[in-house]
Structures are given as C-alpha cells and as structure tokens.
Structure 1
C-alpha cells in the first residue's frame, strides 16, 4: 500500500463535518438498506467515529502490531453486533463510491486501487478477530 496516496487522497475528499463518512453512510443505506438497523440513529455520531478510525489506521499504517491489536479488537465488537463477512465488502464498495463521487475528476484509478487494497487489509484484520467456532 502506498501510504502517501492514501493520505493525499483522503485529504482531497475530506469535507467539513465528516462529509465523506456521512456520504458513505448515505450510499451504504441506499445500496444495502438491510444494514441500516444495525447502526445508531444519529448517523453523524457514527460518521465521526468512522472518520476517526480511518485516520487512525492511516496514521498507524507502518505499525503492524497496532493494526493487528486494534483491528482484531474492533472486529470482535463488530462480530458481537452481527456484522457478517459480506458486509465488509459492501463497506469497501460504498466507501470507494463516496470517495470517487466527492473526488470527482481529481480521483484517479491509482487512488481507487490503493483504497481497495487498504480496505481489504482492514477487513481481513477485523475478520481475524472474529470468534472461531
């Protein structure tokens, strides 16, 4: 993963008031309405938490131990909420759709590729935290 592309592209789609993550949830709920009941009623709070998580992951991209510990723990919490593996794919799809929409002509295939790789890696680490039965 190219940390510089991830940081620069995230900065390029950063909107005030967590606009990127707010738009992400709008797209997610439009495309996958069945998941909406799993989220808090106040989507702005959820959007702020997601933005903080994204920034934390990017900030710690070079710290494998931090990523493993924190993302597996986050995965455990998501498993307890009933989040399934296919939902992670939907999240990645909708996050990239929001970024592409906001980025407009400035959004590049390289940005899509790097974010696809990053979101897949995050998903894998989170799913590693799921209980094994």
Structure 2
C-alpha cells in the first residue's frame, strides 16, 4: 500500500474535517437499513471513525498492531450486528465521500489506493469476528 498517497489523499478529502460526517450522510442515503444501528447524532461516531482512519494510516507499517487492533474492533462490530456485506457498503460510501470532497484534484489512483486499503481493513476486522459470524 502506498502510505504517502493514502495520507496525501486523506488530507485532500478531509481538509475541513467533513469527511466522516459526509460519509455517514452517504451511507444512510444509500443504505437506510443500517441507520437504526447508530444514534440520532453521529458526530461522536464520526469523530471516532476519523481517529481510527488516522490511526490505521499511522500504523500501516506495523502489521501486528493492525491485526490486533482491527481484529478487536471487528469483534466489537460483530457484537453491534455489523455483517460482512456491510463492510463493502462502508468502503463504497467512504470512497464516494472522498471523491466528492476531493473534487477535481481527486484521482483514480487515490480511489484505487483507498479501495485496496479499506478492503484490507475489512479483512482484518472480519478476522476478529466469531467464526459463526464471519461468513
């Protein structure tokens, strides 16, 4: 993964801290069935998501941290009722928010880099699911 491109594109898409709030707007518009899984005010959730994205980028070269931390986070999401297909929806909506907020400066290479990164994150999170929920 290209850590420099991921970091550069995150700064581009999130220059005004709008990325994660916009992500939730897109997620709820495209997948209204997930809305009940969240509180009415998603600001704190958006802040936690932003912190998690930055932490993953900061630890991109630390596979042990990524495996343990994302596996634990996956186990929590399993308990919340998140299913494996929801990870694809999350990645789709996060990339859509990035493309929108990145504007004309956003590139296909950035989309590809984030699609790869979010797929890897999903895989590590799903690895933390109890066996009966991981399929």
The 2-side partners of 1:30 and 1:90 are apart by: 11
- In the alignment, does 2:59 pair up with 1:60? yes
The match for 1:70 is: 69
Report the counterpart of residue 38 of structure 1 in structure 2. Answer: 37
TM superposition outliers: structure 1 runs of 4+ over 6 Å: none
**1:14 offset after TM fit, Å?**
1.3
TM-score (norm 1): 0.97
Structure 1 gaps of 5+ residues are: none
Cα deviation, 1:25-81, whole Å, max 9, x if unaligned, reads: 000000000001101222111100000000000000000000000000000000001
**Deviation readout 1:69-111 (Å, 9 max, x if unpaired):** 0000000000001100000000000000000000111000000
- In the alignment, structure 2 segments of 5+ residues that lack a partner are none
Matched, 1:4 2:4: yes
- Whole-angstrom distance in 2 between the partners of 1:63 and 1:19: 28
Structure 1 partner of 2:19: 20
Q: What is the match of residue 101 of structure 2?
A: 102
Q: Please give the TM-score of this superposition, normalised by the length of structure 2.
A: 0.96
